[in-house]
Amino acid sequence: MCRFNNEQAMTPGAIKPELNSLLLLVSVLLSACGAPEPAQRDLFYSLAPRVPDAGATATPIRATLLVNDFAARGFLGGRQIVFQTRDQPLQVQRYNLFLWEEPPGRAIARDLAGALRTAGLFEFVITPAQRSRTDYILAGELDRFEHLPTAIRPQVVADFSLTLMGSADRRSLFSRRYQGQEPTAGDTPEAMIEAFNRLAGRLIGDAVRDLQSQRSRLRGTSGR
Find out whether 3 and 188 touch, Cβ atoms under 8 Å.
Answer: yes
* Packing angle, helices 104-119 and 189-212, rounded to 10: 40
How does residue 53 score in pLDDT terms, banded at 50, 70 and 90?
confident
Confidence (pLDDT) at 2: 58
Confidence (pLDDT) at 5: 58
Residue 77 CA from chain centroid, whole number: 9
Confidence (pLDDT) at 140: 98
Rg of the chain, C-alpha, whole Å: 22
Q: Residue 102 to residues 8, 25, 126, 150: CA-CA distances in angstroms?
A: 20, 39, 19, 26
Rounded mean pLDDT of 52-58?
77
**Model pLDDT for residues 64-87, shown as the tens digit of each residue:** 999 999 999 999 999 999 999 999
Confidence (pLDDT) at 161: 98
DSSP state of 76: G
Find out whether 211 and 174 touch, Cβ atoms under 8 Å.
Answer: yes
28 vs 151, residue with greater confidence = 151
**Model pLDDT for residues 118-135, shown as the tens digit of each residue:** 999 999 999 999 888 999
Confidence (pLDDT) at 201: 97
**Model pLDDT for residues 163-173, shown as the tens digit of each residue:** 999 999 989 99
